Chains A and B, each alone.
Chain A
C-alpha cells in the first residue's frame, strides 16, 4: 500500500472531526468530510480507480480534479460520477465501472491482446459489412460499451433553473478572477463569480501558506464587495450577446441548476490546465501531474507514493518536489525539462509503476510515482465561443487569446504569467474595465427600455483597454517523448494511433479528431487537444501554429440532461367548475392546455339523457372576445365570410373565418349585446389565434377603425344547458323571458342567473337540442353550476362531457374545425357555400374563394356505415372499390345511441358526394367496409325542430 493519509496539513480542506464511512469496490472504507471520493479512496490505499475505455487498462488518478479522466465511478444508481470532484458523503456505495469480474482482474483487458488490430476507425471499417449482421455486431459491442449502469427505476432528481442579468460575470475564481470580481463590484457593478471547483483561490489553494492567505483575503474582499459567488459551478457556454449558460452543481434544493445569465460584460479567468506528457507507459497508475500530487498532499493530506521521479519544466513541478519531500516521499530523481532532460517510459506491471526510464539511455530508476510538469493548456473555450481564435506562442508553449469583442475580457493565466501580485493587479484592472464597459452597455439598455429607470445625459464612452500586459514566460515545448503513449485517456487514443490516422490521410486536425475520437471524451479536450495537435504537427512535419487547433464549442464541461431540461413547466388550465368535476367522478382529458371532463362514466347514457331530459356541460374553454366600437361590423365583415352589417342588438349569427388562402381558420357565433358591444365566440383551440388574427388586421391594415378587441374567455364560466327540459330549468333561475316568442333561436339576452348579475345567455346549440349557453362571471361559475344541478334534479338533469357532446354534434352533422377540416380545407368543402358572400366588398380569403367555389374540391359529407357495429377509426381512408386508390377519409365517426347506427363525417371527392353513394372504407386491420352518403349532414332532426322548440 503506497498511498496513505498524511498527518494534518496546514492547507487541508478535510474535517478530521467528521469521519465518513463508505464502500469502495465492495469493501468498507473511511474518509472525512471535505474529501472527494477519489481522495478518500486514495487515502484508503487504493491506487487503481478505473479501467480504460477500450483496452481496460488499469488507471489511477492523473489530475485529481474535475478533469481527471481516470476517476469515473458508479455511485449508487448514478453512473459516470467524477470521483476526483464529487465530495464524499456518509454511506455512499462507490463502484468501479464497466469491469468484470473485478477492478483488479478485468477479463475485458484481453482487448489489449488484440490492441494492434483495434486501430483508429476499427469500428467504422469492420462492422459495416455485411449489413445484415449489424444487429449481431451491436449486441456484442454493447457489452463493451464504456460507462456506468443506468437504473431506469432510480428516482428522478430535482433540477432547477434561474435567469439573471448581472453587469459582470467572472468565469474563474482564482487570484485574477477574484480580484477582477471585487474591483468590478467596488466600481458599482453587480457581479456574479462562477468557480468550477469547490474552493476559491485557484492554484493558490494547493500552494504555500502564504498563497492560501492571499486566496483567503481575496475571497474575503469579494464577499465584502457583495460579489455573488457560485462555487462548484461552471460557465458552460457563451452565446450571442453574452448569453451565458451556467451550471450550478452544489445547490441545497436541486441536483443541478441551470442558470441563464445575460451578462453585460464577461470576464474569462479560467486559469490554466496542466497538460499530461506523452510517453510509453504514461497511463500506468502512479503517473500523475504535478498539480495532482500538490492537491492530494496539500488539500486532502494524501501521500501519493513512496518514491518518486519528477519530470519538471516549470515552477509547478519544482513546488511538487518540495511538497513531496515534506510529505515524506523519497525523490528518486529529478528530470529537468528546462535543461533538455527527458523521461522515456515507465516499466512495471499494468497496475503500478515500478521503474521510470529517464534520458535516452538505459537508466532505470525505481519508483512507484512519476510526476510530470511539462506545461499548460489555456482553456480558451469561452473565448472561442466569443469569436476569438487563439494564437499559439511556441516560446511559451501554449495558446493565447487574440481578439475578443468589447464585452468579453480575459485575465489571469489565460493571457500571461506573473507573480500572484501581478495576476491580482491584472485582474483588478480587468474588473474595472469590465465594470466601465458594463455601465456603458447598461446605460444603452436603460435608455432603450421605457419601463427602466430614467437615465440622463449622453451614453458613457466605452472604455478603451489600457491594461498592462502580463509577461509570457519562456517554457520548453514538451509534448511527446521519443516513445509513444496515451494522448486521450478518456478514449484510449495513443500518439501512435494519431500518427497512423494521419498517414491514412486524416491529417487535418478536425478530421483527425472525428476519426480517432481524440478530445471527444468527458474531458472535452482540456487535457488532450494541444497534445493531439502537437503529435499531428510532428507527423506532418509542421509547427503547431501551422496545424492549428480545433474550435472549442459549448459546453465547456459536460452537464446532465436534467440540468438542460431544468424545471418542467407544464401550464394547465381549468375552469371554475373543475373542483365539481373532480368530486363527481369526471374522467379528465387534456384538450390543449385545458383539463376538461371527457365523461362522467357513460357517455352514451349522457347522450340519451340530453335527448330525453336535460344535461349541462362546462364549455368554459370556448374562446370569447369582447368587441367594442362603431367599426366592429367592418371587422366582422372582414374576418367572416358572411355578412354582419345588419346584425341587430339581441341577435346571434354563425360564421366561418378563412385565411387569405381560403382555408377554414375558425368558426363560431357572434352576438350583438348592445349598440356598441359584441361578443364573439371562437373554437376552444382557436381563442388565442383569432384574437391575434383580429389584432393583426386592425393594427396593420385598418388602424383607422374604432374597434377594441379584448379576450374574455375565462372572465366567464360557460355552461351549455341542453335538452327538452332546458328552458324549464333555466326559467327557474332567471327572470329573463325564455319563451320562444321572446327569446328565439340564434338570439342573445343578458340578465341575472341564479342571482348572479351580468350573465349572457345565448340560444344556440351544438347538440341539436333546445339549448341555452350561459356565460357567468367566472367567480360565480361554480355557484351557478351547482344551482343548476340542484334545481334540475326533478327534471332529470345530469352533467355530460366532451364525448357526449362530440356524439351529439355528429348526430346533428356539425363539423369541427381542425378535425373535419385540415390545413388544406377551403371553405366550400364544408358545404356552407351560402355563408360565403362574394358580393361583399372584401373579406379575408375572398380572392382565393372566388375560384375555389367553382373548383373541384373535396366535399364534406355525412355517412352511415352499412354495418352499424363497425365504427371506422377517424382518418380511415376511403378508397376506390377494388383498388388502393385513396379518394378521401373519414374525419369523424361515432356510434349514435340516438339512431343506433354507426355514423360519420367524411371528406370525399365531388363524384362521391351525392346522397346514396356507397363509399369503401379501409379499416386499420386492412378489412374493408362500406358506408352510404346521406342527404343531409344531420343524421338526427335535420329540420332543426328540436333546437328551435
Chain B
C-alpha cells in the first residue's frame, strides 16, 4: 500500500475555481481506476466482458468500454473495478494492464459540451453518429484521446482520456474551448 504521506497526484496540478452545478462542467477524474484488457477471440474473458467494439455500458459502477476490436477499458472507482478484474474468467490469451497512472481522464458535461468539443476535435458529435454509450478515439486539441459518451441524467457528457503527460495541456485546452459557453471546473 502507498506510504501514508503519499497521495495520488493528478496530472492536472493548476488551481481552478470550483463551481458546483455549472451548466457546463469539466471534471478531472484522473484518480479513478482505469484498466485496459486485451482478450483474444474465443476467450472466456471476452465473453464475460460482453461489450462490442465502439460501445460501452455501465455495470455495477464500472464502465466497460470497447475501445478497439480486441481491447476494452474498465473505468470507475477502484474497488468495483478491481473486483470486476478479479472476476474475469481465466483461459486463453488475455492481458490486463493498469492504466490508472498512465491516463488522464476528464468528464465534460453540459448541453454545450458538444459545441465545446467541436472547437478542438473534428469528429461528428451529433446524436446520430455519437449516441450515448458510443466509444471512439480521435485527436482532441492535437492529442490522441479515447472518447466515450456517457450521459449524466440525460445531459450530454463525455469522458476524455489521454496520455497522462498531456493531461495539464489538454485540461487547459478544454477550459479555453469551453470558455465562451461558460465552462466551469467542477
Q: Tell me the chain B residues, 151-180 only, with Cβ under 8 Å from chain A.
A: 163-166, 168-170, 173, 179-180
Also in contact, A755 and B54, with CB within 8 A (given A708-B38, A715-B98, A778-B164) = no
Also in contact, A714 and B102, with CB within 8 A (given A165-B124, A449-B129) = yes
Contact (Cβ within 8 A) B164 A164:
no
B8 to chain A, nearest CB (A): 4
Also in contact, A778 and B118, with CB within 8 A (given A579-B13, A708-B38) = no
B156 to chain A, nearest CB (A): 14
Using Cβ atoms and an 8 Å threshold, which residues of chain A touch B90?
none
Also in contact, A756 and B40, with CB within 8 A (given A253-B179, A573-B165, A576-B11) = no
Q: Tell me the chain A residues, 514-572 only, with Cβ under 8 Å from chain B.
A: 567, 569-572
Cβ 8 A contact of A163, one of B3, B99, B118 = B118
Cβ 8 A contact of A782, one of B9, B36, B97 = B9
Also in contact, A574 and B165, with CB within 8 A (given A165-B126, A449-B129) = yes
Also in contact, A715 and B9, with CB within 8 A (given A449-B129, A573-B166, A780-B2) = no
> Interface readout for A621-633 with B: 1 if CB under 8 Å, 0 if not?
1000010111000
| Count, chain B residues at interface, CB 8 A | 59
Cβ 8 A contact of B142, one of A450, A453, A571, A783 = A571
Contact (Cβ within 8 A) B53 A715:
no
Query: How long is the Cα–Cα vector from A542 to B119 in the complex, in angstroms?
Result: 51
Q: Tell me the chain B residues, 6-36 only, with Cβ under 8 Å from chain A.
A: 6-11, 13, 31, 36
Query: How long is the Cα–Cα vector from A452 to B55 in the complex, in angstroms?
Result: 9
Q: Does B1 sit within 8 A of A, measured CB to CB?
A: yes
Contact (Cβ within 8 A) B2 A755:
yes
Q: Tell me the chain A residues, 699-731 only, with Cβ under 8 Å from chain B.
A: 706, 708, 710-716
Which of B80-88, B105-113, B133-141 makes up part of the contact surface? B133-141
Contact (Cβ within 8 A) A161 B119:
yes
Using Cβ atoms and an 8 Å threshold, which residues of chain A touch B38?
708, 710
Q: Does B101 sit within 8 A of A, measured CB to CB?
A: yes
A204 to chain B, nearest CB (A): 31
Using Cβ atoms and an 8 Å threshold, which residues of chain B touch A449?
129
Using Cβ atoms and an 8 Å threshold, which residues of chain A touch B98?
715, 758, 777
Using Cβ atoms and an 8 Å threshold, which residues of chain A touch B123?
163
Query: How long is the Cα–Cα vector from A36 to B180 in the complex, in angstroms?
Result: 27
Also in contact, A452 and B122, with CB within 8 A (given A572-B169, A594-B165, A710-B95) = no
Q: Does B49 sit within 8 A of A, measured CB to CB?
A: no
Contact (Cβ within 8 A) B97 A575:
no
Query: How long is the Cα–Cα vector from A626 to B96 in the complex, in angstroms?
Result: 10
Query: How long is the Cα–Cα vector from A757 to B6 in the complex, in angstroms?
Result: 11
Query: How long is the Cα–Cα vector from A777 to B11 in the complex, in angstroms?
Result: 12
Which of A262, A783, A787 is packed against the most chain B CB atoms within 10 Å? Answer: A783
Also in contact, A160 and B143, with CB within 8 A (given A452-B129, A781-B9) = no
Contact (Cβ within 8 A) B180 A253:
yes
Query: SS class of chain B's interface: helix, strand, loop or mixed?
Result: loop
Q: Does A132 sit within 8 A of B, measured CB to CB?
A: no
Query: How long is the Cα–Cα vector from A872 to B5 in the complex, in angstroms?
Result: 49
Q: Does A446 sit within 8 A of B, measured CB to CB?
A: yes
Q: Does A754 sit within 8 A of B, measured CB to CB?
A: yes
Query: How long is the Cα–Cα vector from A452 to B123 in the complex, in angstroms?
Result: 12
- Chain B's closest residue to A621 (CB) is B165
A934 to chain B, nearest CB (A): 38
Q: Does A779 sit within 8 A of B, measured CB to CB?
A: yes
Also in contact, A757 and B142, with CB within 8 A (given A165-B124, A779-B31) = no
Cβ 8 A contact of B8, one of A451, A452, A779 = A779
Q: Does A442 sit within 8 A of B, measured CB to CB?
A: yes
Using Cβ atoms and an 8 Å threshold, which residues of chain A touch B99?
712, 715
Also in contact, A708 and B165, with CB within 8 A (given A451-B130, A783-B6) = no
Using Cβ atoms and an 8 Å threshold, which residues of chain B touch A594?
165
Q: Does A467 sit within 8 A of B, measured CB to CB?
A: no
Using Cβ atoms and an 8 Å threshold, which residues of chain A touch B51?
none
Also in contact, A190 and B126, with CB within 8 A (given A571-B166, A708-B38) = yes
> Interface readout for B48-60 with A: 1 if CB under 8 Å, 0 if not?
0000111100000
Q: Does A928 sit within 8 A of B, measured CB to CB?
A: no
Using Cβ atoms and an 8 Å threshold, which residues of chain A touch B168?
574
Query: How long is the Cα–Cα vector from A572 to B5 in the complex, in angstroms?
Result: 29
Q: Tell me the chain A residues, 714-762 only, with Cβ under 8 Å from chain B.
A: 714-716, 754-758
Cβ 8 A contact of B3, one of A162, A165, A783 = A783
Q: Does B185 sit within 8 A of A, measured CB to CB?
A: no
Contact (Cβ within 8 A) A442 B128:
yes
> Interface readout for A766-786 with B: 1 if CB under 8 Å, 0 if not?
000000000001111111000
Using Cβ atoms and an 8 Å threshold, which residues of chain A touch B95?
626, 628-629, 708, 710
Which of B4, B13, B121 is packed against the most chain A CB atoms within 10 Å? Answer: B13
Using Cβ atoms and an 8 Å threshold, which residues of chain B touch A780?
2, 6, 8-9, 101
Contact (Cβ within 8 A) A754 B134:
no
Q: Does A608 sit within 8 A of B, measured CB to CB?
A: no
Also in contact, A571 and B6, with CB within 8 A (given A708-B93, A779-B31) = no
Q: Does B131 sit within 8 A of A, measured CB to CB?
A: yes
Using Cβ atoms and an 8 Å threshold, which residues of chain B touch A162?
118-119
Using Cβ atoms and an 8 Å threshold, which residues of chain A touch B179?
253
Contact (Cβ within 8 A) B97 A714:
no
Contact (Cβ within 8 A) B142 A716:
no
Contact (Cβ within 8 A) B118 A571:
no
Query: How long is the Cα–Cα vector from A253 to B119 in the complex, in angstroms?
Result: 13
Also in contact, A451 and B5, with CB within 8 A (given A160-B119, A262-B124, A715-B101) = no
Contact (Cβ within 8 A) B6 A712:
no
- Chain B's closest residue to A712 (CB) is B102
Q: Does A445 sit within 8 A of B, measured CB to CB?
A: yes
Query: How long is the Cα–Cα vector from A779 to B131 in the complex, in angstroms?
Result: 32
Query: How long is the Cα–Cα vector from A571 to B124 in the complex, in angstroms?
Result: 22
Query: How long is the Cα–Cα vector from A787 to B3 in the complex, in angstroms?
Result: 11
Q: Tell me the chain A residues, 150-172 only, with Cβ under 8 Å from chain B.
A: 160-165
- Chain A's closest residue to B31 (CB) is A779
Which of A252, A567, A579, A620 is packed against the most chain B CB atoms within 10 Å? Answer: A567
Cβ 8 A contact of B163, one of A446, A573, A757 = A573
User: Which 8 residue pairs are nearest across A and B when measured between Cβ atoms?
Assistant: A755-B3, A715-B102, A573-B165, A451-B54, A628-B95, A779-B8, A165-B124, A706-B93
28 contacts between A and B (CB under 8 A): A162-B119, A163-B123, A165-B125, A165-B126, A446-B128, A446-B129, A449-B129, A453-B127, A567-B119, A571-B141, A571-B142, A574-B11, A574-B168, A576-B9, A594-B165, A706-B40, A706-B93, A713-B102, A714-B165, A715-B97, A715-B103, A754-B3, A755-B2, A755-B4, A756-B2, A777-B101, A779-B10, A787-B3
> Beyond the given A451-B130, A452-B134, A755-B6, could you list 15 further A-B residue pairs with CB under 8 A, ordered by the A residue number?
A190-B126, A253-B179, A446-B129, A451-B136, A571-B169, A572-B166, A573-B166, A594-B165, A620-B165, A706-B40, A714-B163, A756-B2, A777-B98, A782-B9, A783-B6
A contact residues vs B (CB 8 Å cutoff): 160-165, 190, 252-253, 260, 262, 442, 445-446, 449-453, 567, 569-576, 579, 594, 620-621, 626, 628-630, 706, 708, 710-716, 754-758, 777-783, 787
